[in-house]
Amino acid sequence: MHRNTAERRSGLNSEQGFTLIELLIVMSIIIIIVTIALPNITKYKRTGNETSAVGSIRALVAAELQYQQTYPQNGYACSVGALGGEKGATPTPAAAGLIAADLASGHKAGYTFAIVNCTKVTINNQDQYTGYEITAVPDAVGKTGDRGFCSDDSQQIKVDPKGGTNCSVPLQ
């Protein structure tokens, strides 16, 4: 019994655990690490979203070429939705089934996609689109992406460094 009393007085009891000061120090270190790492994590997410947007632009350009070959009387599609379609449904000019449903919705990985500036001609009372521009803009510039992307029937992808649709810099 004498030994147990001596252990309590000297604070050597093995069941004591961590002190409040030690826990606060550990929590402070964790908070500092998270504060340093968080900006890098969001940067990597933005970079990933931009990479996905470029891949989606390429998929849309390829779908436009296939659409033009499949429906020559219509030319190009003038909406992202027209390139999509229900899984297993019969393809039509209004729902060609050439791209995945998430991209056909016009929104994917923090970017909004649109087909704009369509050039239309009428041949034999049939409207035919002979040109288009695809745009991809971040939902929130600086959060979901930093740059905007565009392409047209020339198939070259260009960048707007400010995140809009004023694409003038070729993608490198």
172 residues of the chain, pLDDT tens digit each? 555 555 555 555 556 778 888 889 999 999 888 888 777 788 899 999 999 999 999 999 999 999 999 999 999 999 999 999 988 899 999 999 999 999 999 999 999 999 999 999 998 888 899 999 999 999 999 999 999 999 999 999 999 999 999 999 999 8
Q: What's the CA gap between 132 and 117, in Å, rounded?
A: 6
In-domain check, residue 157: yes
Q: Is the pTM of this model over 0.85?
A: no
In-domain check, residue 25: yes
In-domain check, residue 2: no
Catalogue the E-assigned strands of the chain: 107-108, 111-123, 126-138, 148-152, 158-160, 169-170
In-domain check, residue 160: yes
Q: What is the domain count for the chain?
A: 1
In-domain check, residue 7: no
In-domain check, residue 8: no
- Print the domain residue range for 55: 18-170
- Burial bucket for residue 66 (CB in 10 Å: 0-12, 13-18, 19+): middle
Give how far Cα 12 sits from Cα of 16, 19, 25, 139, 165, Å.
8, 13, 22, 58, 68
In-domain check, residue 146: yes
In-domain check, residue 9: no
Q: Residue 169 corresponds to which tokens in the numbers above?
A: 């810099």
